Structure 1
Amino acid sequence: MTDHAIHNEQDKSKALSSYPKIAIIGGGLSGLFTAILLERKFAQHQYQNQHSDLQITVFEKSRGVGRLATRYRSDSVTGKNWQWSFGAQFFTAKTDSFQQFIAPWLDSGLLQPWCAQVVNLSITNKSGQQPHIEPKEQWGTEQARYVSTPKMTSWGRTLADQLQQTKIQFQTRVAPLAQYANPQTGRPTELFDDNGESLGLFDWVICTAPNVQTAELMADSGFTEQAKIMQPKMRACYTLMLGWDEESKLPASLKSSSKRQDLKLWDVAHLQDSILAKIFVEHHKPNHKGLLPSVTIHADNDWSEQQVDQNIDEVTARLLAEAKEALSWTEQTAPSQIDCHRWRYAATSMALNDKDDEQPLGLLVDNEQQWIVSGDWCGRGNIESCYQMAEEVVEVIAATLEV
């Protein structure tokens, strides 16, 4: 393979003299939050005036950003859509800084609180019998769960559109950093794509990919925190997506009960003793009333991990059979739309014996090479963790540049 490394030391020094160049590997929310907070930091504090031309490049292997995955299908007759948030269903904002960060999008209505009616659902032993449903809680606004409207992907796209000094390079796979030969303190890192073509020189490289992919990117690179990358355990999740042609065709379990005054039309169900974990009714979400009936079901993470390499059709059939028992549909009330997605890296834990003692890994920083490993899995595996890790990244870089 041709050596594309830049050997001209004068060019390397010149690359650092006028502005910091930062590479972010991964265009999920961790990457987008990091880019936004870096832009804001440098806008507030221009570093000796010569660093006002901050340059950030986000390398994303797919065609889109944000990773708040949404899938939809259109009905050819009515033109209406079924829609499933088959990744994160919602997020919380518990810290003051994250609450302040999301405030503009709450004001605009892009983000909205979801005051869902939550129930516990137990599958009965007798086939065809209605599941046992008991009220669990009503989500309120004190500790709100937020959704992006009209799709969960809408927020990520809006975040990307607001970036001013950041270029997003789609469908680009960054090669392992070991390909960068003889790293030296204070020298920029040259990144390459998987075809061996140079992607440029960067003062800082921030990797926000899942830890398994990050470990591969950093393998044999001399990254000082390499041994810690695989400490968190990332478990799989299968997501089943169901749709009905109209609300009148929904099974009774998805309708309100006239016999139970305490059991309102529910939005979220937690399942007990099942390979299914949670059921979400998509068309009950804010600004989703125009959807055709759509239901998303997340399988149990432990069960999903055990089946992660199984044939997807076989897994779908197993999940569908369990969903039929859970929702108790008949031939007349069966879903017309069925889809399934496999997430290999969905849930994060530190794999300790006592889960109450689990502590987040935290940011991994190689100060000499100026490489940072970040992502939600470095925190508690949720969207707020993406933001918290982004804050820490900015602190590290700003401290180095005295911004």
Structure 2
Amino acid sequence: MTDHALYSTDKPSPKIAIIGGGLTGLLTATLLEHASNQTQTPFKNPQITIFEKSRSVGRLATRYRSDSETGKNWQWSFGAQFFTAKTGSFQQFIAPWLQTGLLQPWCAKVVELTPVDANIQAPDIQVPDIQNKEQWDTIHARYISTPKMTSWGRELAAALKHTTIAFKTRVATLAQYSHYQNIQHQNTLHSDSQKTELFDEAGTSLGWFDWVICTVPNGQAVELMADSGFSEKNKITQAQMQACYTLMLGWDKSQPLPETFNHQAIPQWDVAYVDSAIIDRIFIEHQKPVHDDLLPSVTIHARNDWSQAHVDDDMESVKEQLLQAAKQSLNWDEDSTPSQTDCHRWRYAATIVHKDREELSILVDETKQWIVSGDWCAKGNIESCYQMAQQTVDAIWKTK
């Protein structure tokens, strides 16, 4: 392979590999493309490839089922339920999608819920204790993507102009297959360029790249960077993450709903913070903006500490425990038992934020031109994905 083939002087812009097609990966590609259009940019039209192991992008996960009788759907946002935009730059970034209505503020009515006591032998006369907590507003908005939480990620992917997305592609451990080569040119943007050749797990070459950006959860990043010589490898494990189980429930249109949704003594609500050893929060999907055509659908997130303690348990056992806890919270009877049930396990769901420790930020090996990034480098939320993408663009820009 010639030097010209590796780095053409006709195309001085960098070739960039992004491992992981979640929001951090999509936002990184988006901001790289935006940066290349600026007047003072050090490069034009970067050649970006996103390698995604699954069949879709975005990670704002949505699951749905269709009812053959009504033609309507049950729908659950079983990943992130919403996101906030607290910084001016992120608020400015999402503004176009707010104008189109793809992103919308969710002004939910939030309550605190104490489940019924399972030890009392007369559950039919019990009602969970529900107290008003707060009303979300547009000033301190929580945003959702419509009609599905996956819609925004797909829109971001569709808008990319200089990015190729390779689905169902698992990048091999960098130490196992990757090769490096210094390429020297006198007429390129940089005279000493570090090249990385990536391979998939079958040993097939995925190409040579100037920059490799890893945006997967930190547990997976540790595996990808193991024994690779990545200079910041030890810092990857500093971020602690916990699992989360998600329970999805649905009711037929003809069914009565549990009393917790419509009891005359209970205030109307959209989100419940639950006083439980197992359940953290309950979200009523069909009451969200632009969701009123759905069949009754409820998403329940388990507590992260409970999920982590049971992360390797049998899924059916976990599902049964979650269903029992959900029944105590929603108080259904034989007639109002949900007809649809499903459960999902997220191994890397929440980043533990220690007050006495600074956020990591992205990890950069300037010699290899590798970057490890992800929401877990900050607070583990969607705005963190954007902030880490910004830092990545700045790091690449700085070297040109």
**Which TM-score applies when normalising by structure 2?**
0.93
1:166 to 160, 163, 185: 163
Amino acid in structure 1 at the alignment position of 2:178: Y
Report if aligned partners of 2:65, 2:73 keep a CA contact under 8 Å in 1.
yes
Q: How much is the aligned-residue C-alpha RMSD, in angstroms?
A: 1.6
Unaligned runs of 5+ residues in structure 1 are 1-5
Q: Moved runs in structure 1, 4+ residues, more than 4 A?
A: 182-185
Q: Deviations over 1:33-58 (max 9, x none)?
A: 0001000101113657xx42321000
Aligned 8 A contact 2:222 2:237 in 1: yes
Q: Structure 2 CA distance, aligned partners of 1:15 and 1:58?
A: 24
Question: Hey, what does 2:188 align to over in structure 1?
Answer: none
Q: What per-residue deviation string (whole Å, max 9, x for no partner) do you get for residues 81-108 of structure 1?
A: 0000000000000000000000000000
2:247 aligned residue (240, 247, 250): 240
Q: Which residue of 2 aligns with 1:254?
A: 261
| Corresponding residue for residue 189 of structure 2 | none
The offset of 1:9, in angstroms, is 4.5
- Equivalence for 2:324: 321
**Mean CA deviation greater in 266-275 or 68-77:** 266-275
Indicate conservation of the 8 Å contact 1:15/1:201, yes or no.
no
| Letter matched to residue 249 of structure 1 | P
Mapped contact 1:70–1:85 kept (Cα < 8 A): yes
Structure 2 regions of 5+ residues with no counterpart? 183-191
Identity %: 60
Structure 1's 182 and 53: CA in aligned 2 closer, same or farther, altered over 3 A?
A: closer
1:334 and 1:57 map into 2 onto residues whose CA distance is 47
The CA distance in 2 between the partners of 1:149 and 1:337, in whole Å, is 22
- 279, 283, 291: which one aligns with 2:282: 279
Q: How does 1:157-196 map to 2 (within 5 A)?
A: 157-178=154-175, 179-181=177-179, 184=182, 186-196=193-203
2:327 aligned counterpart, secondary structure: helix
1:226 aligns with 2:233: yes
Structure 2: distance between partners of 1:273 and 1:13: 58
Across the two proteins, how many residue pairs are aligned to each other?
A: 385
Residues 115-158 of structure 1, C-alpha deviation per residue, up to 9 Å, x if partnerless?
Answer: 00000000132352211000000001111000000000000000
Instruction: Tell whether the 8 Å contact from 1:150 to 1:288 is kept in structure 2 after alignment.
Output: yes
Name the amino acid aligned to 1:299.
A
Matched, 1:201 2:213: no
Amino acid at match of 1:149: T
Pairwise CA distance, 1:12: 3.0
1:299 maps to what in 2? 302
SS state of the match for residue 86, structure 1? coil
Residue 237 of structure 1: how far off its partner (Å): 0.5
Q: Which residue of 1 aligns with 2:62?
A: 70
d(CA) in 2 for partners of 1:319 and 1:182? 49
- Aligned equivalents of 1:189 and 1:335: distance in 2? 52
Task: Give the Å deviation of 1:10.
Answer: 5.2
Give distance in 2, aligned partners of 1:244 and 1:258: 20
